[in-house]
Chains A and B, each alone.
Chain A
Amino acid sequence: MSVSDALDAMRSEISGCSLVAYADLGSRLVLCTSAVSNPGQEQLDALSGAALLALDGALAEGAAAMWDKTATGADMAMLLTNAEARVFLRSPGAAPEALICVCAADADLDKVVDCGQTTLSRILSQSEG
């Protein structure tokens, strides 16, 4: 399954999901997307910027104040508004990559995280294969 297919599969599985993207946190570049409507570059830049802040930047550093000293960065983050939910999941691979999911504000966030982890595993196995 290609990265694109994995993102499409995740988006179709989550009700109200408008966009799933795979991003490189190091370069802040979105590598691949699956979206209801073609996202603008500005939107993708904003998402990758937020992913970096949430998983490796200001938010993660703030939360890490009380974490175990071995913890480096966050594994998962969410930015929730009354209009949408944005979920960021770090890839378990060595590369600093992450999955970004934009869905309805009242989406089943447990399911989003589960599907996201499955999608990341698929992407990782594809890149290793």
Chain B
Amino acid sequence: MSEFARLEEKLAKLRHRERAPGEVRKLRGADADALVQALVTEIDETILPRRLTLTAGPVALHLAVANRRLQALLAPTPDIKGAGELADKALPDAEDPAVPALLQVVTRAFSDGHPVEVSAMRLRAQFGSDVGVPANLLARAWNVKPTAPTPKNPGDVLGGYLQEISTDAIAWLRIEGEEVTDQNGPEDRVAALGEQAAVFLDGYFAKFDVLFPTDAKACGTVVSPKDGNSDALLFVEFGEVSAFIAVKPALVADLAGRWQRLVAD
């Protein structure tokens, strides 16, 4: 059993609760081409294995996406010509004939003028993380014009940041999805941080809508104690990756500012 079992159990529970209802968002695009472009962006921003469901009126498409790759069209497929043959078959590479065939299915699904909604559910890894067509190659294969710079890779950004602050921080835990994937600091302090994080998350998620009432993405939270003997807590998050950092109160504003400069728009 992981030494962070309590924290990981809490993360799993909270994420499940967080994702269960109301995760449906509108895919923005004036026409089918723009919607395909928005879909590629969505794929480019998806790191962990997810079942993306796209609903356009009566049509629903389910896609396996992970590691910024489109992996497969999943069953059940819509009543669109060619969709059935593609179901649950992994896309081997961008040159495969299934890639343009899937574009045709997607374009037809988006062509009726219905608003398109997208939702993402956790997907038990059905395919390896290196399976599928990376978003940048998919954009080329589908002739999608890039309109926005490629988003920063959250994992890389967090990794660089944690490395940069390792001498200033007392301890940190790196979290990807629902697992603690890395740690740094004295063993007892790391263990205490895991306990602290589990308790902290209860209040954080329970009051999230009050703490972050707008659509802006939460990037970081700092709580610094009154007394000088305790450590401040810095919780940073970016997409599916996050970290809990214990730091001396005198340094926490500087560390928080360095994180903001990396991730803020």
Contact = CB atoms under 8 A, between A and B. Distances in A.
B223 A63 contact: yes
Given A59-B200, A59-B203, A109-B256, A64 B225 contact: yes
B241 to A, nearest CB: 15
Interface stretch (A2-10, A17-25, A31-39, A75-83): A75-83
A61 B204 CA distance: 10
Contacts of A124: none
Contact of B226 (A75, A78, A81): A75
Given A71-B230, A77-B223, A81-B216, A66 B207 contact: no
A58 B226 contact: no
**Chain A interface helix/strand/loop/mixed:** mixed
B128 interface: no
A123 to B, nearest CB: 18
B222 A66 contact: no
Given A68-B230, A109-B253, A59 B221 contact: yes
Contacts of B230: 66-68, 71
Given A62-B204, A68-B227, A110-B253, A80 B219 contact: yes
Given A75-B225, A81-B216, A109-B257, A58 B207 contact: yes
6 contacts: A66-B231, A71-B227, A75-B226, A77-B223, A83-B216, A106-B260
Interface of B: 192-193, 195-196, 199-204, 206-207, 210-214, 216-227, 229-233, 249, 252-254, 256-257, 259-261, 263-265
Given A63-B196, A63-B200, A77-B222, 20 more contacts: A50-B210, A53-B207, A53-B210, A53-B211, A57-B207, A62-B200, A63-B233, A68-B225, A72-B226, A77-B223, A78-B220, A78-B253, A80-B221, A80-B259, A81-B218, A82-B263, A105-B219, A105-B265, A107-B257, A109-B257
Interface of A: 46, 49-50, 53-54, 57-68, 70-85, 90, 105-110, 112-113
